[in-house]
Chain A
């Protein structure tokens, strides 16, 4: 009798302490996540003008406005373009990780080197790239000219080249983080699998495709998910490489469009509606990826 009472007393105290521990983080999520997101969604249905401080309910008018805006669709196309780097950095990331995994000389040094771009300030990187890709004086075009006699393109000024330049930069930036994740995944694959395969007469290529790749698939899946979300949200590169989204809006992405509407045109309602719509799109894409993942991600037997 006393023991059960003591147990329930303990449970009660435990519950109280539990509440004490979860309250701060719950409050944080509520105040800085749920409430602002709620306000943003609600704002999407108003014509909120921050400067004037006015807002009226306008129903779906904002959605109609951006869906019929030519710029929105140009930005949408450009945003899809930003998905192009993903397979490239996955491929290079895996190759680098495998290279570092075998105890190649200097692998620690290379690991640090690959990871540097990811932890560097994106603003600093963009400034550096601006110089590298400068039409007349950039290192890239100088090298193309001096070594190969090719006149390099106007990477940042030509509307046909600005997006490929951004893609290159994303690939370069993301290889590091990809290879670190893949490397970590590689370390979890038991050596016994390879030993057993070798005994059965499997060659290195076969072992890679039958053992390494399937066991890496959860990591690759994770990288694809964050990669797609990251690519769809490309913003800083556009803002810093271009003025007003580049010639003919050639580099503007959806997030850039949203930012312009919110802070340049003072149409916070329209911007919120676009952001809400875009969040749904990203959610849809991510769910679809999870769905498709059943076909190729190895979940363990």
Chain B
């Protein structure tokens, strides 16, 4: 690896020398590229370190790293785009790929991915890359507009101490529970009152329930809202009834007061969906044994499903130093040291397949069943439905009063019927926008 980095430096130096011959003033070695992102203080520290490494490997390029609070990122980026000061490299959410590619904000990195000196495409999860693919009509296919910062599979974690105390054995990876078995276990785990209350499960992933039941928010080509489909309604009602009827998940009031994440860390939740980004905190704070289990399956299909998310690095089309910017994006996405640091801090599953399958799986830290994360990435995970559409206002509307179902004010059938029409018109607006 070291020799390879040296080679990179030599190549870069040669490239510089060549441009110098052609009289380019950047030969003096002060090309500056900007990179904008957000992150926790730990993450920012990792990035600063990576950037320093990048600057060592590519002498002559300076990186101006701008960090913004996550909540302000969109506003800030938009303002920069409007004033033609788009950062060279910036965070890209999968749902923004289509509009931003169409409006020429982000560059097509396909050629760079195929031929670059930093990483080999075949060693990167295809699902991590395909979140940033777009062929001009369909997302997930065609040209690549972003490199993955990480891919976040949402896996079902459980508190092994609570399981043991209740005499429950978690299912084997290849033999997931059905929903009924899940509810039965959750009931056994639920106990106590007041501040001692233990719930069998955190609020269940609606995506997992809906998809596993063979339904979805939209039809296959994402043109029609299908939330009134009986399979969808059934899944939604099942998730709501976990609280309303079975009483095995915290109510929405309780959830609003103290999130399930904290309850789980307190040892007061039996099962909860988590992403790899939470591992570090669990290592530091959980004083119980925990592990991952496969998501339960709907008895109607026997198939399980859940979402994976992620954020990527985009290179601005307006960048004056696209090669440097692409190299920086790739360096941040795939640099082995950085990937290892993130892995060891419990922030992410490596983007690099060989590292994930060897170093990550053999790490001596929970969860023991780390393969579950990888299975979700490769096998039964899906990207969120709203990332397939031009804008996600239809999804926002769906969520706007979903609490009325969780609270039992409306049934799933009543609620979905009440929002379906307006969701469709918002979706149509998005589709029309894509056509423009």
- Minimum CB–CB distance from B105 to chain A (whole Å) comes to 6
Structural contact, A137 and B78, CB atoms closer than 8 A: no
B258 interface residue (CB < 8 Å to A): yes
Task: Decide if A136 touches B401 in the complex (CB within 8 Å).
Answer: no
Q: State how many angstroms separate the Cβ of A72 from the closest Cβ of chain B.
A: 14
In the bound complex, how far is the Cα of B102 from the Cα of A135, in angstroms? 45
| Contact residues in A for B393 (Cβ distance below 8 Å) | 265
Q: Is the CB of A156 within 8 A of B256?
A: yes
Shortest distance from the beta carbon of A158 to any chain B beta carbon, whole Å = 8
Check A51 against B105 for contact (C-beta < 8 Å): yes
Chain A's closest residue to B255 (CB) is A157
The answer for the CA separation of A196 and B399 in the assembled complex, in Å, is 66
Pairwise interchain contact A51-B99, C-beta atoms closer than 8 A: yes
CB-nearest residue of chain B to A135: B257
A-B contact count (CB 8 A): 58
| A50 part of interface (Cβ distance < 8 Å) | yes
Alpha-carbon distance A263/B81, docked complex (angstroms): 12
Interchain CB contact under 8 A, A266 and B82: no
A43-68 interface code vs B (CB 8 A; 1 in, 0 out): 00000011111100000000000000
Q: Is B391 part of the binding interface, using a Cβ–Cβ cutoff of 8 Å? A: yes
What separation, in Å, do the CA atoms of A300 and B256 have in the docked complex? 54
With A136-B258, A137-B257 in contact, is A157–B102 under 8 Å at CB? no
CA A137 to CA B255, docked complex, whole Å? 11
Answer yes or no: A264 CB below 8 A from chain B CBs: yes
Q: Can you list, as one digit per residue, whether each of B72-93 has a CB less than 8 Å from chain A (1) or not (0)? A: 0011001001100000000000
Q: How far is the CB of A76 from chain B (nearest CB, A)?
A: 17
Contact A249 B400, CB 8 Å, known A51-B99, A135-B257: yes
CA distance A266 to B391 in the complex (A): 10
Interface residues of A in 218-268 (CB under 8 A from B): 244, 247-249, 263-266, 268
- Given that A50-B78, A265-B393 are contacting pairs, would A134 and B257 also be in contact in the complex, using a CB cutoff of 8 Å? yes
Among candidates A53, A157, A249, A265, residue contacting B252 with C-beta atoms closer than 8 Å: A157
In whole angstroms, how far apart are the Cα atoms of A266 and B210 in the complex?
30
Which residues of the partner chain B approach A165 to less than 8 Å between Cβ atoms? none
Chain A residues within an 8 Å CB radius of B193: none
- Binary interface encoding of chain B residues 252-279 relative to chain A, with 1 for a CB under 8 A from any of its CBs, else 0: 1110111000000000000000000000
Given the known A-B contacts A51-B81, A51-B99, A52-B99, are A248 and B400 also in contact in the complex, defined by CB atoms under 8 Å? yes
With beta carbons under 8 angstroms apart, the residue of A156, A157, A263 that contacts B78 is: A263
A50 to B105, CA, bound (A): 11
A154 near B: Cβ within 8 Å?
yes
- Inter-subunit contact B78/A244 (CB<8 Å): no
CA distance A247 to B103 in the complex (A): 33
Q: Is the CB of B256 within 8 A of A51?
A: no
In the complex, the answer to whether A51 meets B103 with C-beta atoms within 8 Å is: yes
- Closest B residue to A155 by beta carbon equals B256
**B384 interfacial contact with A, CB 8 Å:** no
Q: Which residues of A contact B142 (CB under 8 A)?
A: none
- A157 and B399 in contact, given A50-B82, A52-B102, A263-B75 (Cβ under 8 angstroms): no
B256/A266 in contact, CB under 8 A: no
A279 to chain B, nearest CB (A): 20
A50 with B81, Cβ < 8 A, contacts A248-B400, A265-B391 known: yes
Of chain A, the residue at the smallest CB distance from B399 is A244
Would B401 and A247 count as touching, CB distance under 8 A?
A: yes
Most buried by A among B74, B99, B257: B257
User: Is B78 in contact with A51, judged by CB distance below 8 angstroms?
Assistant: yes
Given known contacts A157-B252, A263-B75, is B103 in contact with A53 (CB within 8 Å)?
yes
Cβ-closest chain A residue relative to B99: A51
Collect the chain A residues with CB atoms within 8 Å of residue B105's CB: 51
Name which residue of chain A comes closest to B404, CB basis.
Answer: A247
Judging by beta carbons under 8 Å apart, are B253 and A157 in contact? yes
B253 and A137 form a contact (CB under 8 A): no
- Bound: A268/B75 CA distance, A: 12
Given A51-B99, A244-B399, A265-B393, A157 contacting B256 (CB threshold 8 A): yes
Partner of B74 from A156, A264, A268 at Cβ < 8 Å: A264
Interface 0/1 of B229-270, CB less than 8 Å to A: 000000000000000000000001110111000000000000
Interfacial residues of chain B within 118-138, with CB under 8 A of chain A in the complex: none
Q: Determine if B258 and A137 form an interchain contact, defined as CB atoms under 8 angstroms apart.
A: yes
Known: A51-B105, A52-B103. A247 touches B403 (CB 8 A): yes
Q: Are A266 and B403 in contact (CB under 8 A)?
A: no
Distance between A238 CB and nearest chain B CB, rounded to angstroms: 14
CB distance from A107 to the nearest CB of B (A): 39
Among the interface residues B102, B393, B403, which one has the most CB atoms of the partner chain A within 10 A? B403
Which residues 267-301 of B have a CB within 8 angstroms of A?
none
Q: A266–B78 Cα gap in the complex (Å)?
A: 9
**Among candidates B102, B254, B391, residue contacting A136 with C-beta atoms closer than 8 Å:** B254
User: Of B81, B396, B404, which one neighbours A244 at CB under 8 angstroms?
Assistant: B396
Q: Which 9 A-B pairs have the closest CB atoms?
A: A136-B257, A52-B103, A135-B257, A157-B256, A50-B82, A263-B75, A248-B401, A135-B253, A154-B253
Residues of A at the B interface (CB closer than 8 Å) are 49-54, 134-138, 154, 156-157, 244, 247-249, 263-266, 268
9 new A-B contacts, CB < 8 A, other than A136-B258, A138-B257, A154-B253, are A51-B105, A52-B103, A53-B81, A135-B257, A156-B256, A264-B74, A266-B78, A266-B391, A268-B82
Name B residues whose Cβ lies closer than 8 Å to a Cβ of A: 74-75, 78, 81-82, 99-100, 102-103, 105, 252-254, 256-258, 391, 393, 396, 399-401, 403-404
Q: List 10 A-B contacts (CB under 8 A).
A: A52-B99, A52-B103, A53-B103, A54-B103, A138-B257, A154-B256, A157-B403, A248-B401, A265-B393, A268-B82
